[in-house]
Structure 1
Amino acid sequence: MNERSTPTVLTGTRIRERRLSLSRRQADIARAVGISPAYLNLIEHNRRPVSADLVARLAEELDVPAEELAEGREEVRIAALREAAAHPVATGLGPELDQVTELLARFPGWGQLLIAHARRAGGLERQLVDLSDRMTQDPYLLTTLHEVLSAVTAVRSTAAILVEEGEISPEWRRRFHSNLHEDSQRLSLTAQALVAYLDSFEAEGSAATPQEEVEAWLAAGASDAAELASDAARVMARQLESGLNADRDILPDQILAEAVTNPEARADPVRLAARLEMPLDLVMRRLADLRPAGFEGAGLLVCDGSGALTLRRAAPGFPLPRPGDSCPLLPLYQALAVPQVALVRDVVTPDGRGFRTLSHATRSQPGGVTGPVLTTAQMLFTPIDGPVPSDALAIGPACRICSRAACPARREPSILVPQPVLVERPNGTFDTGL
């Protein structure tokens, strides 16, 4: 794997840029901190080391926190600014990426402000995506909204009868009043429950479906399935736990950890499976579960023959597809068409992160020769250390929340990308408002 090369702002460079931004002379700064101008010149050109005590004195004279001059702090900030520049909102603005280090050296405060705003915008964007997803797919929310509409319709119909009809017998009037009272109570209780549930949207990490509940439980360490909230989640968790334990019995942690020490096997899970004389799908599941050396950031997606995701094991930076709403370009789905064939493909996420994927599908007949043929596909993905290959496949989480404006597989507009609006011209023709 290629080693990622991240530009570094050296201490001397930061000292020089800060001095120039203040229009201070080398001789004045050197005299103030007790060194010669020649020595300061060597420091500013990164030809002499700088002690912590001297950095502190220079920082005081340059009116900047000492940590802003210390070496090794800028890599994270440079990465943060580059990530902000890769956002779709920056498309067409042309940010000068080659000047990122100079920006941080000369204007550390402005750099921090840009990073803070980018991180806050990213957090709000993720919250918007989560709320939008829950508003359109949460089964409890959909059921509750249906109940509210049903109660409103019943109240309106009863009230209309009481108002519009002529003479109504006392007995029927009592019935209508009783129905109106019961329906209004039902509406009140349902609306209160709905408001309380919507208020809970602000709580991070709350699971909306049994599958998401199980995945959160698995990510947290899979301690005790009995602690899960829903009965369905507890059943699914016990089935998953049983499968994981069976895999561990067949391929123990120690054997797998020793096998990946071989560079050739570690670089190619297909050869690793052959070396272990184990099925490839089993080895893929164990790599995502154990995450041994070389697979520390591994994740796993599993789907059935219909393409519905049955398991999502997250990896840092990878946009997990939403249940029932995935990116159609995922290599996972290509594997369904060619069972027992290992497909390797590099992919790139909307924020520019690269991952190497290995997809493999298997078929089984648990009901015997007369039973149905079941297909299961798995995709193991690991982060790419280094530049993302130019031929990497551009993927996303799902069309509705994907920021890629131009995608051949897009099936619906994204809530993260401004959509063109038709505006009528004075001559009667129409044009987009963007």
Structure 2
Amino acid sequence: MPKSALTGSRIREHRLMRGLKQADLAREIGISASYLNLIEHNRRRIGGKTLLALSEVLGIDPSTLSQGAERAVVTELQDAAASDSDTQVELDQIDDLVARFPGWAAKITAQHRRLRALERTVGGLNDRLTHDPVLSEKMHEVLSTVSAIRSTASILVATPDLGAEWQARFYSNIDTESRRLADSSASMAAHLDHLSRNHTSRATPLEAMFAALDTRAYHLAELEEGGDPQVLLDTFPELDSAEARALALQHFATYSADAAAMPLEAFREAAHSAQFDPSALAVTFNVPLDAAFRRLASLPRSATVPDIGLVCCDAAGALLLRKSPSGLALPWFGAGCPLWPLYTALGTPGFPVRQVIESEDRAQFTAMAVAYPTGPLSFERPPMYHAAMLLVARDDQTATDASLVGTSCRVCARSDCPARREPTVLTQG
């Protein structure tokens, strides 16, 4: 299992770079110098509020200090190792690679993402060529027309003494079919050109949206002030396809509705008063619980706001939204760990689930989940459900009843997990 014991070392490194004394930094964030000393020597785990306070004083993003950012890179490297089973790699030394050569680790993960995206692109193009009804129809037209021209030409060659009247008819047929062939070919070329122009480097539109929202930590200041979602779209280069922009617009619309129902300053004050309890906030603002989840996850980072993550999925378990908290890497696609309360909630729609969970990095979170119907209700079909899970980092990381969870089975080292659905790539031997 990866060892994420480098957060304290990073804190010490950045403190020394800024010329701060340990006692001065400890006093500024409201802890004792002896406790900070234990943190810097990786002998105490660090809670969300303390981490955010340190990052604010040091003037650095919390993910740069936390093991969460490193864990995401470790997870990507493990996935890269699994994708090439013919090459043996030192899985037990991935932590050392990330710690000693972060640039190389980032380069490898970036290349792996690109290869994965290219593989999906090839698969997607193959599906299009196989199942695209427009392309199939146009190809049928081309082949039919070529066959007609060939048949007519064969008759002319095989019958040299054909009368002038019949020759004229056949020549006219060849001319008509040739024009039809040209039109069909041009139409097919235009369709292929349309597909190529709409192709993007992102594997899926959802991944493009995830990448865009990650750059803002899921807080969209423009929409807090009633900004135009269409204008906001142009600030995200990651949204490089019509499909990704459409998904982003849907998210922007939901975000704007949440912001209107729960104005930022009023919500932030209420969140502190309620100690970030989403059920209390849902009652205060008279909104559904999942709306309170989203609003909490969209709060701007500060030393007084805990580290908050959010995961949403559909009834099949596929992720629709993901904001990773420090200490728990979330997959970019597919489904996550089957032990997440997110999936428990799908089995009891409308009934909230709360549970303390512990990641492989031993970071603990209060996980709260709920499944809710989406779309209009109808007597003609059963309701469709989505589920949302809020993850709030715990300052006290010593809960003994915490449920052990992972990112996904593929990169989870827990061999005795009863919910495992596929072998882990971390198994040695």
How does the TM-score come out when normalised to structure 2? 0.53
Contact 1:360 1:377 in 2 (8 A): yes
Measured against aligned partners, the alpha-carbon deviations of 1:149-197 in whole angstroms (never above 9, x if no partner) come to 5444443443344346741633332232122212222233334444444
Q: Give the drift of 1:125.
A: 1.9
Moved more, 78-87 or 290-299: 78-87
* Matching of residue 176 in structure 1 with residue 186 in structure 2: no
User: What is the aligned length?
Assistant: 327
Question: SS of the residue aligned with 1:359?
Answer: strand
Measure, in 1, the Cα distance between the counterparts of 2:305 and 2:66: 26
* Matching of residue 167 in structure 1 with residue 165 in structure 2: no
Q: Specify the alignment match of 2:369 in structure 1.
A: 359
Measure, in 2, the Cα distance between the counterparts of 1:7 and 1:115: 17
Measure, in 1, the Cα distance between the counterparts of 2:375 and 2:190: 49
1:94 aligned to which of 79, 92, 95: 92
Opposite residue 298 of structure 2, the aligned amino acid is D
* Matching of residue 244 in structure 1 with residue 254 in structure 2: no
Measure, in 1, the Cα distance between the counterparts of 2:255 and 2:72: 37
Q: Give the drift of 1:118.
A: 1.1
* Matching of residue 319 in structure 1 with residue 330 in structure 2: yes
**Residues 4 and 196 of structure 1, relative CA distance in 2, 3 Å threshold:** same
1:380 aligned to which of 365, 385, 390: 390
Question: SS of the residue aligned with 1:394?
Answer: coil
Alignment of 1:2-401 (within 5 A): 6=7, 8=9, 87-88=77-78, 89=81, 93-95=91-93, 114-133=101-120, 147-148=134-135, 150-163=137-150, 166-167=154-155, 169-198=170-199, 200-201=200-201, 207=205, 221=221, 222=223, 223-227=227-231, 228=233, 236=250, 239-241=253-255, 243-248=257-262, 252-261=263-272, 265-266=274-275, 269-270=278-279, 280-291=289-300, 295=305, 297-303=307-313, 312=321, 314-315=323-324, 318-319=329-330, 321-322=332-333, 325-327=334-336, 329=338, 330-345=340-355, 356-362=366-372, 375-383=385-393, 391-396=403-408
Measure, in 2, the Cα distance between the counterparts of 1:149 and 1:367: 37
Q: Give the drift of 1:374.
A: 6.1
Contact 2:368 2:391 in 1 (8 A): yes
Q: Give the drift of 1:128.
A: 3.1
Q: Give the drift of 1:121.
A: 0.7
Give the unaligned 5+ runs of structure 1. 12-71, 104-109, 419-433
Contact 1:259 1:276 in 2 (8 A): no
Give the unaligned 5+ runs of structure 2. 14-59, 82-87, 157-169, 234-241
Measure, in 2, the Cα distance between the counterparts of 1:351 and 1:158: 64
Contact 1:158 1:176 in 2 (8 A): yes
Identity of aligned residues (%): 23
Q: Specify the alignment match of 2:32 in structure 1.
A: none
Measured against aligned partners, the alpha-carbon deviations of 1:229-253 in whole angstroms (never above 9, x if no partner) come to 68966973674255314431xxx43
Measure, in 2, the Cα distance between the counterparts of 1:128 and 1:342: 40
Q: Give the drift of 1:298.
A: 2.5
Measure, in 1, the Cα distance between the counterparts of 2:375 and 2:392: 31
Measure, in 2, the Cα distance between the counterparts of 1:255 and 1:363: 28
Measure, in 2, the Cα distance between the counterparts of 1:132 and 1:259: 47
Measure, in 2, the Cα distance between the counterparts of 1:341 and 1:126: 37
Measured against aligned partners, the alpha-carbon deviations of 1:103-150 in whole angstroms (never above 9, x if no partner) come to 9xxxxxx975x3322110111222334444555569997799664454
Question: SS of the residue aligned with 2:275?
Answer: helix
